[in-house]
């Protein structure tokens, strides 16, 4: 049986990581969001917002990290792996910023394919800014639209996850699979 690679994505502050954490607690194999790690590491080097200062470097680090996660997941003896964001998120964010980027990003999005994409829509009641999330709720709405466009251009069918409790959202995802 072919391994299902499932992306949980959406704009900032939509509950993706909370859903991934819950799935992990349920003993599903999950790949965490790596951008927070990159942001924290760059902040320790004195670069407050690497994504804004050098979006191509930030995106290159993300691309390498997400490919590594994909390859790690493929090597796992499990039938299902959940990813907190996928490779197409990278060019979705660069499109949002208006950053020109090499074709390698879309090539890698085509090469490393996911079987399911679940989109978490912006939800004002749960949105919070923090040390690594600098976008406003309004920017989250705009990013969400760029992500939909990015995944759609890559030929993905997107399933939108409705608002609800954590368990309701997790159950929706699992029942959709």
Asked if residue 59 lies in contact with residue 97, where contact means CB atoms within 8 angstroms, the answer is: no
CA distances from residue 13 to 9, 104, 124, 135, 144 in whole angstroms, order as listed? 11, 28, 9, 9, 11
The stretches of the chain forming alpha helices (DSSP H) are 16-25, 35-44, 50-53, 55-75, 88-97, 104-111, 137-153, 166-176
The pLDDT assigned to 120 comes to 93
The whole model's pTM is what?
Answer: 0.88
CATH class of 4-176: alpha beta
Those residues whose C-beta lies under 8 Å from the C-beta of residue 52, and which sit 6 or more positions away, are: 97
Task: Say which residue the tokens 């890559």 belong to.
Answer: 154
Task: Say which residue the tokens 């990013």 belong to.
Answer: 143
Q: Tell me which range, 34-48, 91-105, 130-144, is most confidently predicted by mean pLDDT.
A: 91-105
Asked if residue 102 lies in contact with residue 110, where contact means CB atoms within 8 angstroms, the answer is: no
Cβ-based neighbour number of residue 4 at 10 Å: 14
Judged on CB neighbours under 10 Å (0-12, 13-18, 19+), 28 is middle
pLDDT in tens, 52-96: 666 677 788 889 889 999 999 999 989 999 999 999 999 898 898
Distance (Å, whole) CA 136 – CA 94: 17
Q: Tell me which range, 11-20, 136-145, 152-161, is most confidently predicted by mean pLDDT.
A: 152-161
Q: For 9-21, what is the mean pLDDT?
A: 88
């Amino acid at each position: 049986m072919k391994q299902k690679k499932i992306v949980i994505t959406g704009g900032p502050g939509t509950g993706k990581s909370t859903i991934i954490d819950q799935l992990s607690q349920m003993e599903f194999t999950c790949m965490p969001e790596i951008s927070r790690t990159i942001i924290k590491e760059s902040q320790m080097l004195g670069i407050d917002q690497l994504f804004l200062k050098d979006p191509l470097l930030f995106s290159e680090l993300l691309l390498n990290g997400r490919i590594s996660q994909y390859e790690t997941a493929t090597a796992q003896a499990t039938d299902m792996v959940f990813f907190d964001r996928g490779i197409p998120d990278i060019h979705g964010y660069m499109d949002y910023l208006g950053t020109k980027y090499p074709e390698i990003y879309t090539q890698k999005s085509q090469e490393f394919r996911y079987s399911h994409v679940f989109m978490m829509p912006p939800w004002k009641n749960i949105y919070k800014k923090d040390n690594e999330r600098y976008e406003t709720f309004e920017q989250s709405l705009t990013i969400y639209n760029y992500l939909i466009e990015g995944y759609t251009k890559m030929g993905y069918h997107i399933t939108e996850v409705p608002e609800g409790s954590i368990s309701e959202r997790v159950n929706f995802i699992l029942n959709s699979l």
